[in-house]
Amino acid sequence: MKTIGMRTLLGTAAASICLIAATGQEATAGQLYNGWNYGIDSFNDGSGGSSYEIKGLAIKETTDSVFVALTGGMPLAGVAASGAADGNIGWGDLFFNFSGKDFQTASNQSSLFGIRFAGTNDSNAPSTGVYQNVQAKSVTGVNQGYTSLRWYYDAGHNQPNTQGTDLPTAQAAYNYFYPAAVASNPTTGNTPILNVINSGTKVGDITALASSDLSAAGLDFGHFGATGTQTIGFQFNRSLIGSGDYLANVFVECGNDGVALKVPEPSSMAGLALVGLTAAGSMLRKRRPLSASITE
């Protein structure tokens, strides 16, 4: 009876650990490799040539820092484009949405975090850095681009992994970027591509990372065959943004390509595992004297 009791307990503990592992894996929506979460984008959905082709977005979080990397054909300073109001088309801003709501609703409620990392783009943020209480706006129109996501898809750019591996289909993209009423009836009139910071409060700076820094931090787009001619990276303090799971995304200024990435909260996953192990250990410790008394 004692043996059976211990087996049951060990089985329960093992099951708890498996459940934690399975939950952790499920929460890791991005493709996790060497501590980085990867959203690998279609290699064939950049409209306008190789400069506009995004291949991937990757994020690594430590206790203190958030590391971000983007790869594709778009340089940090953009490319010359006579059709753009400022003669240049480059990266939009990067957004982090912790709200659990669709992007447009979160934007309307100024509950996004935004990061301007391209110093020469058309962002309304006054300087590069991390911003909170962010509302987004679209600058696709002044960058010779798509004034709606529906137009971009209608133009033939609806490819598998359209917004990276976490938002792989056009419908998944509509469901994330717009309220349900729009996602069920997306038109060229109701699906603006909100791609830069319109308003917000700056809370800190970013530090640019060279490719050697990124390699040292374990970044490896090559593992997914997704190394672009341009790889951009930066780092900022973890305390500048919210906590919990979030979805990160970025478009180029013209809306010709975009990529997103779901990032699970690493500390909560570690915390959950710790709670599970502590509970299992506690059960074993409590059971032992009881088993001993039964044997007597």
Q: Which residues bind Ca ion (CB under 5 A)?
A: 41-42, 45-46, 53-54, 84, 86, 88, 122, 143, 253, 257
3-class secondary-structure state, position 20: helix
What are the C-alpha distances in Å from 130 to residues 12, 142, 199? 45, 24, 12
Quote the least distance from Cβ 270 to Ca ion, whole Å.
31
- C-beta of 68 vs 84, nearer to Ca ion: 84
| Residue whose CB is nearest to Ca ion in the complex, by number | 41
| Amino acid at residue number 107 | S
- C-beta of 93 vs 253, nearer to Ca ion: 253
Quote the least distance from Cβ 265 to Ca ion, whole Å.
25
User: Which H or E element spans position 240?
Assistant: none
Quote the least distance from Cβ 234 to Ca ion, whole Å.
20
- C-beta of 54 vs 106, nearer to Ca ion: 54
Residues 6 or more apart whose CB falls under 8 angstroms from that of 202 comprise 125, 126, 127, 129, 130, 131
Quote the least distance from Cβ 233 to Ca ion, whole Å.
18
The Cα–Cα gap between 215 and 128 comes to 23
Measure the CA angle with vertex 95, ends 91 and 96; round to 5°.
150
- C-beta of 91 vs 113, nearer to Ca ion: 91
